[in-house]
Amino acid sequence: MSNGAAVAHDAHAHHPALAHHFESLDAQKEASVLGMWLFLVTEILFFGGALTAYMIYRTWYPDAFAVASSEIAILPGAINTAVLILSSLTMALAVHAAQTGERGKILVFIAITMVLGAAFLGIKAYEYHEKYVEGHIPGLGLPFRFEEEYYRPAQIFFSIYFVLTGLHALHMIIGLGIMTWMLVLTRKGVITPEYYAPIEISGLYWHFVDIVWIFLFPLLYLIGRHVHHVG
Amino acid sequence: MPTNTYLNAATTLKSWLLTRDHKRIALMYIAGITFFFGIGGFFAALIRLELVTPAGDLLTDETYNKVFTMHGVMMVFFVLIPLIPASLGNFLLPLMLGTKDVAFPKLNLLSFYVYLFGSLFTLYAIVAGGLDTGWTFYTPFSTVASTSAVVPAALGIFINGFSSILTGLNFMVTIHKMRAPGLTWFRLPLFVWALYATSLIQVLGTPVVAITIVLVAAERIFGFGLFNPAVGGDPVLFQHLFWFYSHPAVYIMILPAMGVVSEVIAGMARKQIFGYSFVAFSSLGIAIVGFLVWGHHMFVAGQSIYSALVFSVLTFIVAIPSAVKVFNWTATMYKGSISWQTPMIYVAGFIGLFAIGGLTGLFLAAMGLDIHVTDTYFIVAHFHYVMVGGAIMGYMAGIHYWWPKITGRMYNEFLGKVSAAIVFIGFNLTFFPQFIAGYAGMPRRYHAYADAYQVWNVLSSAGASILAVGFTMPLLYLAWSLKNGEIAGDNPWGAVGLEWNTTSPPPTENFHTQPIVTWDAYEYPTPVEGHVV
Amino acid sequence: MRSGTVFFPEVASTMAARVDQLYLFLVGLTAFFTILIFTMFVVFMVKYRRREPNSIGARIHGGMILEVTWSVIPLLIVLGLFVWSAQIFFAFARPPAETLNVYAVGKQWMWKFQHMDGQREINELHVPVGRSVKMIMTSEDVLHDLFFPAFRVKADVIPGRYTHMWFEATKAGTYPLYCAEYCGTKHSGMIGQVVVMEPDDYQAWLTAGAQEGSLASAGEKLFQDLACNTCHRPDAQGRGPVLHNIYGKTVALQSGENVVVDEAYIRESILRPAAKVSAGFQPTMPSFQGLVSEEGVMELIEYVKSLQGPTANQAVRPTTSGPAPNENTPSQAPPTRN
């Protein structure tokens, strides 16, 4: 065994969070962060597949997509955008608090982040209900109501809308689960200024989910709104 | 045998099921893969039995369709994709890197259970009515026409995808962060380079097939119309998304096998791999260019002739790095000290079969010829030459090469050589006639066929029975060796490489002392002293 | 039925020999490199077999000249193959200017063919020797693929759009046709035969089977039954565009784009009229999706294509891109050769 490695190992041997196969907490954290970034790359490609379908159909049916997207109320979407941006801020503050070791602040900021996340999901549920009332659900055997001219491609638009926002909402729900876990870890005192990687990589995930929404909002709600109904 | 090994460190069932030791996880994968190979092989046997006669007289057409679908699904998703990375890769990567484990051991265990859960889900689809879409799930058949259990099967594949992604991610982080002191990138064994390239494809490609499966499932469960021409959707879009993953997936299967072949040739010839950096970079080249060739699956699907041109030329170009590897392996043999033990015999078989598999790929890259041969048995023969002749032969070579390291024991050398020869002969007899039947016009996925093709089908079925013997033999003599094999010693081949620097089987923490690397890969000192380097 | 030798399907089209040449070249190339590599590998295994248990191989790291050689030579070979195969592909992709058109509709699990003169066939297709035949194909349900091994050609048949392929048969005889894209339970039963006939026999066959009237005349009847003629009037007074002489033209759309009026556009306009509305017209036309079958759409298309020449109700003349017809034709509607 190399002497350097042995010394490094001994120095941190007592820290309970250090896994046996890492030499130091730093090395362990670097690995975790790299792993999370790679995971986010897979997430980009996951959403990317659905966005490819969106792009292709948008080119095929530009008018139908413009008309269909202008059927979606902007206000709830805009509020949700603000809610998520705010939650990213509180998440960043939670990570900062973890770095400085202020446990109370970590708990408060994560709690606020979770409340904002839940608010987002509530507003999303309201929007889905609106779609149901308006007859804009293109499946489940429900009646789909849309002007005759765009009846078919509008179903494609709303299918993509529900797939993308549904997957995003699922990621939010998973995010709330992760945040609950972080609350537990913090309360148990696992999170310290030496070991806050869990909070940091959870934060990366949370920011990523926010960024997905930042793309979805213009793509689904905003683009083509100015195009008035053709004909 | 050493007293302290990963096998005897703890022996309770729980110590296996909840292990975080990459070596034990690798063994569980080997068990799972072998099990699904058996199931997939059983379906293959049914196919070959049915096709002995031109009339569809053994199975009904409906059953036949479900049988070939399940053969494909089992073999592609639950055997070939995890085949080498999850088994040999898991076992060897930390050993080759001189570290104690992969970066995320718990995630590694989770990957295994996700694989198990996903595969059982798909098995459930067989009970729940079977699946008759073909492993390719083409829309709109899979979304609006098929009445079989598409959703459970697709969900199983979706879940299994996470296993593949997490393994790839784990390996990439491990290779970046866990190398032993002194082990620079260009000192890495070529198997590690191959695993890195494979992981890259797993991480970048698998999510795309995952979302594609989600879209198909959304269409079936909710009635959304994403690929449905009835609402203006495009069934061909599915093919683009599907092949964006599923063509690179072929490289997930073959790249690790190429890595194994590099290791075995170097070890068996006791020689540095000729053109190390060319072989290493050709893996990355295949992984990258491999992402740009998916459209060659759609030359007859009505894509524009200009995109067809681009896909064709890139497909021709992706052949070059594979050719470079084969030439470098052959050159490595020159003036080697070549052992004729079982792994080498399997590698020789690999070279012959992979050469045919790779070169017949050119027939399919050639657009004007692809029109005739696509969707015929020519394709079936081609991809079996690559996937069985390439990936599975590579796996067999690797299992035989590292068996003494994994178990600490030797298998029967004579039976090993015989099985390699039987597999080689049986394989050629099974699949070579399919090239000819295909060019003569026999379409794939046919339950009944024209009399003119019978001679090729009879030969093929005869070959399949020989192949079955060839694959059953290792199962028996390897199992037998577990208790009765000769004690292998730490380095039975007299090979170099960190994995040979520890005991066989290795201890749980892999090395008794932390290795520090000061030499290049495959650097043989002269002369070899005894059997230990 | 003729099915060629056990190694090759019958060589029965102008393209078949070209495809076979490329195939045989590649077989030779594959054999050459496989034997070369495998032989070298085995020879090295024998020649450099381990003689002393402890011996090791020679120390050779690599060689740039060799690496370049065995990268560049294969690259040149494959680029040559690319050019060769692309030429064949272009020949397949671009039908000659004058073709005899036949419509094909795939459905689970049968092939339906419609000839211009109105003959309809199921799982059997009659074509003449020595004329380029263009297949215009679609599917009523899932993907299919029409495959003629004797002509070395196949193409996917896709619901919701038209795909095309062409061939020129060179040898009279009966050859198999297959569905080559998996399409469900009876996929392997979705087969039939193509009967290639000498021109005279073909004319006799056409005459014998043409009592139903040409495709265009069937289309004309459908055009009236569906009341298309109330809006699409020949005198520019209707609510829809005049259809005379419209086929092959480029028309301006409301969206500002232009579109060439081809089969695909006419089909789309019948089934999804709102998708591409001609400039100057209101999108008032209802969709005929579900009201008219794929075969009906093909008849309507042929009717529209037949509306060439002076704009007058009686001026239904055949398009004349093909060789002049000289056989007897039903009196009601002149034959269409396109």
Q: With respect to residue C28, please indicate whether it lies within any of the assigned structural domains.
A: yes
Q: With respect to residue A12, please indicate whether it lies within any of the assigned structural domains.
A: no
Rg over alpha carbons for chain A, rounded to the nearest Å, is 22
B139, B171, B178, B224, best to mutate vs chain A, most A CBs in 10 Å: B224
Q: Over 80: is that where the pLDDT of C332 sits? A: no
The C-alpha of C95 sits at a distance from chain A's nearest C-alpha, in angstroms, of: 27
Decide the pairing of beta strands C100-107 and C132-139.
parallel
Any residues with CB less than 8 A from the CB of B141 and at least 6 apart, and which? Answer: B133, C142, C143, C182, C183, C184
Q: With respect to residue C259, please indicate whether it lies within any of the assigned structural domains.
A: yes
d(CA B91, CA B80): 17
What pLDDT, on the 0 to 100 scale, is given for residue B434? 98
d(CA B85, CA B93): 9
Domain match, C32 and C140 both:
yes
Nearest to B158 by CA among B209, B216, B215: B209
A139 CB neighbours in chain B (<8 A) are 218, 222-225
Tokens at residue C29, please? 């190339």
What pLDDT, on the 0 to 100 scale, is given for residue C337? 37
> Average pLDDT of C188-192?
96
B206 CB neighbours in chain A (<8 A) are 42
Distance of CA C192 to the CA centre of its chain: 17
Domain match, C136 and C243 both:
no
Q: With respect to residue A2, please indicate whether it lies within any of the assigned structural domains.
A: no
Domain match, C219 and C294 both:
yes
Give one DSSP letter per residue of A41-83, joined into a string.
HHHHHHHHHHHHHHHHHHHH-HHHHHHHHTTS-HHHHHHHHHH
B293, B362, B457, B522, best to mutate vs chain C, most C CBs in 10 Å: B362
Domain match, C170 and C257 both:
no
Q: Which helix (H) or strand (E) holds B381?
A: helix B377-386
Check CB contact of C274 with chain A, cutoff 8 Å. Answer: yes
For A37, how many CA atoms within 13 A lie in the half-sphere containing its CB? 8
C257, C269, C271, C272, best to mutate vs chain A, most A CBs in 10 Å: C272
ipTM: 0.94
B240 CB neighbours in chain A (<8 A) are 52
Residue C30 domain boundaries: 1-51+95-212
Nearest to C59 by CA among B519, B505, B448: B519
- The CATH number linked to C164 is 2.60.40.420
d(CA B9, CA B508): 7
Question: In a 3-state reduction of DSSP, which class is residue B22?
Answer: helix
Domain match, C123 and C45 both:
yes
Considering chain A, what is the average pLDDT of its residues? 89
For C309, how many CA atoms within 13 A lie in the half-sphere containing its CB? 11
Series of mean pLDDT values for 10-residue runs along chain B (533 residues): 88 93 97 96 97 94 96 96 97 97 96 96 89 94 92 94 97 96 96 97 96 94 89 91 95 97 97 95 95 94 90 96 96 95 97 97 96 97 97 98 97 97 98 97 96 96 97 97 94 94 94 92 70 39
Beta bridge partners of C148: C153
- Confidence band for C329, pLDDT divided at 50, 70 and 90: very low
Q: Do C254 and A149 touch (CB under 8 A)?
A: no
Tokens at residue A193, please? 């200024």
Nearest to B242 by CA among B189, B192, B205, B200: B205
In the block, which residue shows the tokens 């043989």? Answer: B524
d(CA C120, CA A161): 44
Domain match, C5 and C120 both:
yes
Domain match, C302 and C203 both:
no
Domain boundary among C151, C180, C212: C212
What pLDDT, on the 0 to 100 scale, is given for residue C233? 85
Domain match, C259 and C279 both:
yes
What pLDDT, on the 0 to 100 scale, is given for residue C210? 63
In the block, which residue shows the tokens 């996917």? Answer: C156
Distance of CA C17 to the CA centre of its chain: 19
CB B58, CB B141: distance < 8 Å: no
What pLDDT, on the 0 to 100 scale, is given for residue A184? 96
Q: With respect to residue C165, please indicate whether it lies within any of the assigned structural domains.
A: yes
Q: Do A149 and C274 touch (CB under 8 A)?
A: yes
Domain match, C173 and C47 both:
yes
Beta bridge partners of C105: C112, C138
> Average pLDDT of A194-222?
95
A156 CB neighbours in chain B (<8 A) are 225-226, 231-233
B183 CB neighbours in chain A (<8 A) are none
Residue pLDDT, tens place only, A74-129: 999 999 999 999 999 999 999 999 999 999 999 999 999 999 999 999 999 999 99
Tokens at residue B316, please? 């021709």
CB A152, CB C272: distance < 8 Å: yes
Q: With respect to residue A228, please indicate whether it lies within any of the assigned structural domains.
A: no
Tokens at residue C262, please? 């081809």
d(CA C212, CA C247): 24
Cα(first)–Cα(last) distance of chain C, in Å? 29
Q: Do A49 and B208 touch (CB under 8 A)?
A: yes
Q: With respect to residue C197, please indicate whether it lies within any of the assigned structural domains.
A: yes
Considering chain C, what is the average pLDDT of its residues? 87
Domain boundary among C183, C212, C241: C212
As a three-state string, the secondary structure of B302-348 is CCCHHHHHHHHHHHHHHHHHHHHHHHHHHHHHCCCCECCCHHHHHHH
Beta bridge partners of C164: C136
Type of residue at B346: Y
Residue pLDDT, tens place only, A40-82: 999 999 999 999 999 999 998 888 899 999 999 999 999 999 9
For B491, how many CA atoms within 13 A lie in the half-sphere containing its CB? 19
For B52, how many CA atoms within 13 A lie in the half-sphere containing its CB? 14
- The CATH number linked to A97 is 1.20.120.80
- Confidence band for C322, pLDDT divided at 50, 70 and 90: very low
What pLDDT, on the 0 to 100 scale, is given for residue C313? 47
Which residue would you say has higher pLDDT here, B310 or C236?
B310
The C-alpha of B22 sits at a distance from chain A's nearest C-alpha, in angstroms, of: 12
Any residues with CB less than 8 A from the CB of B68 and at least 6 apart, and which? Answer: B43, B47, B134, B445
Domain match, C29 and C148 both:
yes
Domain match, C115 and C254 both:
no
Tally of structural domains, chain C: 2
Domain match, C176 and C285 both:
no
Q: With respect to residue A5, please indicate whether it lies within any of the assigned structural domains.
A: no
Residue A169 domain boundaries: 27-222
Q: Which B residues in the span 514-533 are in contact with C, Cβ-Cβ below 8 Å? A: 524-530
Q: Do A61 and C282 touch (CB under 8 A)?
A: no
Tally of structural domains, chain A: 1
Q: Which helix (H) or strand (E) holds B218?
A: helix B190-222
How large is the angle between the packed helices A25-60 and B235-269, nearest 10 degrees?
140
C-alpha dist (Å) from residue C131 to B147, C101, C167, C169: 43, 10, 8, 7
Q: With respect to residue A157, please indicate whether it lies within any of the assigned structural domains.
A: yes
The C-alpha of A152 sits at a distance from chain B's nearest C-alpha, in angstroms, of: 5
Q: With respect to residue C169, please indicate whether it lies within any of the assigned structural domains.
A: yes
C56, C107, C139, C186, best to mutate vs chain B, most B CBs in 10 Å: C56
Share of chain C above pLDDT 70, in %: 90
Q: Do C85 and B365 touch (CB under 8 A)?
A: yes
Q: Over 60: is that where the pLDDT of C331 sits? A: no
Check CB contact of C288 with chain B, cutoff 8 Å. Answer: no
Q: Do A231 and C283 touch (CB under 8 A)?
A: yes
Residue pLDDT, tens place only, C51-83: 998 899 998 888 899 999 999 999 999 999 999
What pLDDT, on the 0 to 100 scale, is given for residue C319? 41
Q: With respect to residue A147, please indicate whether it lies within any of the assigned structural domains.
A: yes
Which residue would you say has higher pLDDT here, B256 or C223?
B256
Tokens at residue A68, please? 């269909």
d(CA B143, CA B242): 14
Structural domains present in chain B: 16-228+238-501 (1.20.210.10)
| Number of Cβ pairs < 8 A linking chain A and chain C | 17
Domain boundary among C167, C195, C212: C212
Nearest to C112 by CA among C182, C172, C183, C192: C192
